[in-house]
Chains A and B, each alone.
Chain A
Amino acid sequence: MSSNEWPLWEVFIRSKQGLNHKHVGSLRAPDAAMALQNARDVYTRRSEGVSIWVMQSALITASDPKESGPMFEPADSKVYRHPTFYDLPDGIEHM
């Protein structure tokens, strides 16, 4: 019977103007219009949002947690990308 299950959707909500849409959870719905409707009822019952995105979960490509070491290593080894890496002479307070 599981082929008859409604597809899974991920829900993203902008809580107010000026902020990003943020992932809040998922739900099942037969199509995008119903997914939006359900997202409103399930995730914004207390004025949590001013805008909703829904997207079928199956369309997401995710990084593999088993590979997260090599995947994110380049960022770990480049400390010179951070301002704190650099020495400033005394007398400079803000830069």
Chain B
Amino acid sequence: METRTIEQLSENFQQKIDADIKIEPNDWMPDNYRKALIRQISQHAHSEIVGMLPEGNWITRAPSLRRKAVLLAKVQDEAGHGLYLYSATETLGISREETIDDLHEGKVKYSSIFNYPTLTWADMGAVGWLVDGAAIMNQVALCRTSYGPYARAMVKICKEESFHQRQGYEIMTSLMNGTEVQKAMAQDALNRFWWPALMMFGPSDAESKHTEQSMRWRIKRYTNDELRQSFVDATVPQAELIGLTIPDPKLRWNEERGHYDFGDIDWDEFWQVVGGNGPCNKERIEARVKAKEEGAWVREAALAFASKSKSRQN
């Protein structure tokens, strides 16, 4: 077989990307593409798993059996989504355990939003409506990402997540149809989650060090600012419809642009939270490490049982 140089392979690779031909696990890919994907997909997987914590907090205190069943189903979905994504990460040649240890050792991040506490029941509404809403905005775009296993995981996740945002909005709607205290609770949840939700899309395009290369490789299909704008445009009318006020005095419709203008994001806060100094960073990682360590004996026992059963069969 002819041996091809890295340059030829790279050129051929970029041609496939440009022609929207998906890259599959055993195909040749540049090292940096592989690394960028491992970073992006594992970060996404960790976000699904860590994202179970703030909502798990409310399962036992859901106000009705219906709400409890829904919240359980949603949190179970997040576990499944984490699993699809860990599987996709593994196709890139990194082991699942290594990926998880990277999170526990702080080498890899997860979505900054999960470092905020969920203080009231209304937060379950805000999280579903805003956080899942923002995530879906990002994930729908990623269904067309260039790496096959990632794109397929995204398609499945998007299908399943469509109820997540609706159930959150339904919680907010119910509260806004309730007493003054309930309305205030919903507004307070929006006030606390609005800006962190906007921060979920990541730094502005000018500041984002990965965007340009990621766009060229089509592991990102829209920039952070584009997605953020789409989210604001979609969400503002939803808030208005049920009588909620977006906590941004600079927010107004810009006829000329055909988009909402909105105020400046507090990037200091964003970098603080990303850097590990958010209200719940420590608690979240501790919970994950504890789960891994305290579950170790179960995993070992299951493996021992499997090998014993196998030896009995032989």
Identify the A interface with B (CB < 8 A): 1-2, 4-6, 8, 25-28, 30-31, 34, 41-42, 45-46, 62, 64-67
Docked-complex contact A8 and B303, CB < 8 angstroms = no
Docked-complex contact A62 and B97, CB < 8 angstroms = no
Across-interface contacts of A30 in B (CB, < 8 A):
299, 302-303, 305-306
Instruction: Say how far B182's CB is from chain A's closest CB, in angstroms.
Output: 31
Known contacts A4-B299, A4-B303, A6-B303; is-contact A66 B95 (Cβ 8 Å) = no
Q: A25-B87, A34-B306, A66-B28 are in contact. List 8 more A-B contacts (CB 8 A).
A: A1-B97, A2-B98, A8-B90, A26-B87, A31-B302, A42-B80, A65-B26, A65-B27
Q: How far is the CA of A69 from the CA of B309 in the complex (A)?
A: 44
Instruction: Say how far B48's CB is from chain A's closest CB, in angstroms.
Output: 13
Identify the B interface with A (CB < 8 A): 1, 24, 26-28, 76-77, 80, 83-84, 87, 90, 95-98, 152-153, 156, 160, 299-300, 302-303, 305-306, 309-310
Across-interface contacts of A34 in B (CB, < 8 A):
302, 306
Q: How far is the CA of A4 from the CA of B262 in the complex (A)?
A: 51
Known contacts A25-B84, A25-B87, A45-B76; is-contact A6 B302 (Cβ 8 Å) = yes
Q: Which residue of chain A has its CB nearest to the CB of B23?
A: A65
Across-interface contacts of A65 in B (CB, < 8 A):
24, 26-28
Docked-complex contact A64 and B96, CB < 8 angstroms = no
Instruction: Say how far A37's CB is from chain B's closest CB, in angstroms.
Output: 11
Q: How far is the CA of A79 from the CA of B97 in the complex (A)?
A: 48
Across-interface contacts of B153 in A (CB, < 8 A):
25
Docked-complex contact B95 and A2, CB < 8 angstroms = yes
Docked-complex contact A64 and B300, CB < 8 angstroms = no
Q: Which residue of chain A has its CB nearest to the CB of B90?
A: A8
Q: Which residue of chain B has its CB nearest to the CB of A31?
A: B306
Docked-complex contact B96 and A28, CB < 8 angstroms = yes
Q: How far is the CA of A7 from the CA of B309 in the complex (A)?
A: 15
Q: How far is the CA of A30 from the CA of B305 in the complex (A)?
A: 8
Q: How far is the CA of A5 from the CA of B302 in the complex (A)?
A: 11
